Each structure stands twice: as structure tokens, then as C-alpha cells.
Amino acid sequence: MSTLSRRDILKLLAAASAGTALAGVRPLVSSLGKGTGPNILILLFDAMSARHLSLYGYARPTTPNLERFAERATVYHSHFAGGNFTSPGTASMLTGLYPWNHRAITLGSMVRRDLAGQNLFRLIGDGYHRFGFAQNVWAELLMRQFRTDMDEILPMATFSRKSTKPTVGRFFGGDPALAYIAFDEFIFSTHEFINPVPASPALGYLDLFYGNDARRAGNSTADLPFGLPFNGFFYFDNGEVFTSVESVVARLQKRDAPYFGYFHLFAPHSPYAAQKKYIGTMPDIKFPYKPRHPLGGHFKAEKLAEDATHYDEYIATVDEEIGRLLDALEAAGALDNTYVILTSDHGDLFERGDSGHATSLLYDAVIHIPLLIAAPGQTSRVDVRAPTSNTDLLPTLLQFAGRGLPAGLDGRLLPGFGGAEDAERPVISVEAKSSYAFQPLSEATIALIKGNMKLIHYLGYPKYADKFELFDLADDPEEKKDLMQQNPAGASRLTEELLTMLEEADRPFRRKK
């Protein structure tokens, strides 16, 4: 086969992505040999809810730069995460499987061992330089699990200011994932959620002592009244992080082989650290009243509204950095032959007594996430409104790379890139952090979205066991009107479908009698 020049490749890319209709935005899936093909760049922004983005019609102007980028991208309006926190959400994207299949369902858990090889880094192949960087420790833990399928992983604290905890797992090259669990999470940790009581009192005290000086780095400044952003392990400056990402992408762009780059950035995850120029600038809006849920927290409406405002201010801060990053990459020509994917792993909610995503609830604010894909050469906006899942990214990106698809995926090709808009396709999200990963789900919340309808099943909760809620997202986007009684036929059909899928997912974990 004759060798294609970079100019030839760019011409092919431009031709493949020309047009404004869905059928006109096509991936490059030619028979290019090893070391050729388009770059693939994922920029994931942790805990970014689609419900709080002006891109999707939110009343506050939180994302002018995302809106500008959207004018030359495919925008997905009903895109759902596999779960409501990082472990299940990220694992679903990287394996193409729902949480009840990959089983990274508990806090900081990993993909079941027999499916770990079905990850995006391995499947995309060694014709790509496979790069990963995550500021979220649980996302980095998944990359450590997939480390033999990756060419380059930057340590979590690479672009940080000051660390508050010593981390030693990364020094154990044989199995850094196990080393993290054994040392950083179990022996040293004093994390309030993961392990508030360390296995070693002496080393736990060292952990606390180690962080005393570093915590001063998080003090408020004139530009950052709420202090530097913090991920539970270290402080960082978003401007520095995004500038560093720009430099890394520029370096990857210069390689002879194409790259697959996965950047999991912590912002706008809490604590919300907006720049001063955005604080107090958001217009007042009236949040709809939603009574406390039996599984919700105890925050009052005033506190939830205040948290939502700080969240919006922080999203606007991050949006400015996103715009600056994309402008710099485009000016340098780094996006000419690159698929750019902007998304999140889950959202945050401020309703029914809960703030953030440490919740058992699966309302849209916490699982409805952004997805924008800009194909090389794309100049027009395309909008997709059918429900899609973040499991769909794996098969779609494999197609971008000209790779075959493995059997048994939950994900499908995204509409606009080979897939069809299917209103009858069920999309699943799972919250099961209190269940055992390798037993049938015993305590869980499961959402099924099909067309405009959304069914939520509450399984095994002592105070809310075996309950169902049904919403019409078109007529009731705030999920305030439970239709289980008003629409018994529709409720029965969706309930039967969800329970059948759950039974199938649990079957491998049931003990044989």
C-alpha cells in the first residue's frame, strides 16, 4: 500500500466529516495501516451536570465557550452516565458495559478481572500511542488496572501544587492498583469517606501531620475567595492544569503515530472554587420545590440553592479554561486531524435534601451528562436528542480508529457516527455502592430511560424497599410527577423490562444450588 502524506490524511478526514446532516458526519474508517489514522482526544470534566449548562438551555450563562465549540460539533442532549459517581461512570465509558456487568460499583472499585481486558486502551490497539491522565484517584485507579494496555500514564499529582497525603502506591510498578488499596487507602488513609480510621495509627498520624503545611496552600486569595481547588489529596490551579494539558497534547501531536488521549480533569467537582470575577454574577433563578426524598439527605432548600449557585459559578470558571484550551489547540493546528470528545462521568444534584453526588438517587441532574464530539474538519452543528449512554463511547471511538467491535457490549454506535436514533432502546444507570460487587445486587437504585419515559427502581433499601417511580421527561423534566398510578400499562411494561434485565445481569453471580 502506498504511503499517505499528512496532507492526504487531512483531505480524507475533511471529506469524511463534511456536511451538516447526521449522515454527513462520518468517522474515518479506512484501511489505513498501523501508525496512521486520526487522533482521538477525550476531555472529561468531573461532576459536570448537563442540567447546569447553558449549552442545554439552563437559565444561567454558565458555558458560553462550550456553546461556541458546539457550533462545530455533534451535541447529544439526552446522554446518560452509567452511574452517579466516578467509579461506575468512568468504568462504563472505558468498557462499554453497564455497572451491573463490569461491577465497578463500590467506592474506588475496579472492573471485574475477567472483563478487565475489554477496555478501550487495549481495544484501540497499539497502532495508537495510548495516553492517560486523571486528577481523580478512582479514575487513576482504573487506569492502573489497565496499565499494561497503555503506553503512558501521568501520575495524578503531576500538575498539582501541594499534596496533603503521602501516596506510595505509584512506586510499586508490579501492581500499583493493589499497592494503592493496601497502602494509600488502607494503611495510611484518613479519608472521611473511604477509610476514616487507618489500619496503622502511627502512619495515619503521619498522614495527618504531612498535610498540615500543605493545607495552607488552599487558603483563599484575592482571585480565589474559596481557595485553590482540592481533590482530597492535593491542591491545584485550574489555569496551570489546563495550560499543562495544552502542552501535553501538543507533544502527543508531534508523534509519528496517532494518539488516543484520555484526560480526566477534576473540575468542576466540589469543593467549588470559582474565580472572584464569577462569584455573585449569576442571575437569580427560582429552583423548583422538591420535597425531601426518603433516601435523600437533610439539607434545607436555602442551602441547596446556595450550593447550586456556587456550582454554577465554578462551571463558568472551568468553561473559561475550556475555551482557552480549545482555542490554543486549534490555533496550533493540534485539532486538524483529531476527534475531540468533551464529556463527564456524572453530575451533581441539589434537590430532595441532597447536595452533590454522594447519594442513592438517580434523578437527571446527577446522571444526565454533556457529550460533544467534533470530528476532524466538521464546521456545522448537529443535535442528537434520542437517549444515549456513555457506554456508547467505546464502540464509537473504536470505529473512529478503524477497529472491530467486541461481542457483548452494552454500548452502541452513537447516532451521527454510524448509529441510529432509537427511541425504543433502553438506557441504564446503576447506583449500588452498598452492594457486594460479586453478588446479586442487594441494595441499589436503577434507572431505565426509554424514549421520553424514565423508570427508577429502588431495590433492597430498609426504608424504601422495592419502590418504583415513573416520569415523562418531555412533559416533566424536573421529575416531580410520579406516573406509576396514572400510567399503569406503561409502568408495567417498563417494570417488566427492567426486572428482566436485572435478572440477567445478576445471573452470573447467583450461587448454583
Judge whether 223 lies within some domain. Answer: no
Residues 304 and 405 in one domain: yes
Contacts of 180 (CB under 8 A, 6+ apart): 137, 141, 144, 167, 169, 170
Contacts of 356 (CB under 8 A, 6+ apart): 47, 270, 307, 348, 349, 350
Residues 62 and 107 in one domain: yes
Residues 206 and 125 in one domain: no
Judge whether 483 lies within some domain. Answer: no
Residues 276 and 169 in one domain: no
Rounded average pLDDT over 72-88: 98
Residues 259 and 112 in one domain: yes
Residues 131 and 213 in one domain: no
Residues 292 and 144 in one domain: yes
Rounded average pLDDT over 131-144: 96
Q: Please state, for a pLDDT cut of 90, what percent of the chain lies above it.
A: 78
- Domain final residue pick, 176, 191, 217: 217
Listing DSSP states for 279-319 in one string gives TT-SPP--PPP-PPPTTS----HHHHHHHHHHHHHHHHHHH
- Phi/psi of residue 351, nearest 5 degrees: -160, 165
- Domain final residue pick, 368, 393, 424: 424
Helix 137-145 with 86-95: angle, nearest 10 deg: 40
Helix 393-400 with 86-95: angle, nearest 10 deg: 40
Each residue's pLDDT tens digit, 427-455: 999 999 999 999 999 999 999 999 999 99
pLDDT at 324 over 70: yes
Is the full-model pTM beyond 0.75?
Answer: yes
Q: How distant, in Å, are the alpha carbons of 158, 193, 308, 312, 506 from that of 299? A: 36, 19, 12, 18, 34
Strand order in the sheet with 444-450: 427-431, 444-450, 453-459, 467-472
- Domain final residue pick, 373, 395, 424: 424
Judge whether 464 lies within some domain. Answer: no
For residue 324, give its domain range.
Answer: 40-161+228-424
Extract long-range pairs of 184-188: CB within 8 Å, 24+ residues apart. Answer: 185/108
Contacts of 206 (CB under 8 A, 6+ apart): 166, 188
285, 149 Cβ separation under 8 angstroms: no
Each residue's pLDDT tens digit, 188-214: 665 555 566 666 666 665 666 666 666
Where b means 16+ CB within 10 Å and e means fewer, 57-85 reads: ebebebbebbbebbebbbbbbbbbbbbbb
Residues 420 and 288 in one domain: yes
What is the pLDDT confidence band of residue 12, given thresholds at 50, 70 and 90?
Answer: very low
Question: Which of 378, 265, 251, 377 lies closest to 321 in space, CA to CA?
Answer: 265
Each residue's pLDDT tens digit, 270-294: 999 999 999 999 999 999 999 999 9
Domain count, the chain: 2
Each residue's pLDDT tens digit, 490-513: 999 999 999 999 999 999 999 754
Judge whether 403 lies within some domain. Answer: yes
pLDDT, mean over the chain: 88
Please work out, in degrees rounded to the nearest 5, the angle formed at the alpha carbon of residue 383 by the alpha carbons of 396 and 268: 75
What is the pLDDT confidence band of residue 52, given thresholds at 50, 70 and 90?
Answer: very high
Residues 318 and 383 in one domain: yes
Residues 78 and 190 in one domain: no
Question: Which of 241, 12, 245, 265 lies closest to 140 in space, CA to CA?
Answer: 265
Q: Please state, for a pLDDT cut of 70, what percent of the chain lies above it.
A: 83
161, 217 Cβ separation under 8 angstroms: yes
Residues 259 and 355 in one domain: yes
What is the pLDDT confidence band of residue 215, given thresholds at 50, 70 and 90?
Answer: low
Extract long-range pairs of 483-492: CB within 8 Å, 24+ residues apart. Answer: 490/453, 491/455
Residues 180 and 290 in one domain: no
What is the pLDDT confidence band of residue 161, given thresholds at 50, 70 and 90?
Answer: confident
Judge whether 152 lies within some domain. Answer: yes
CATH of the domain at 96: 3.40.720.10
Greater confidence, 183 or 114? 114
Rounded average pLDDT over 367-374: 98
Judge whether 84 lies within some domain. Answer: yes
d(CA 143, CA 242): 20
* Residues paired with 262 in a beta bridge: 42, 132
Judge whether 155 lies within some domain. Answer: yes
Count of other CB atoms within 10 angstroms of residue 177 = 18
Judge whether 209 lies within some domain. Answer: yes
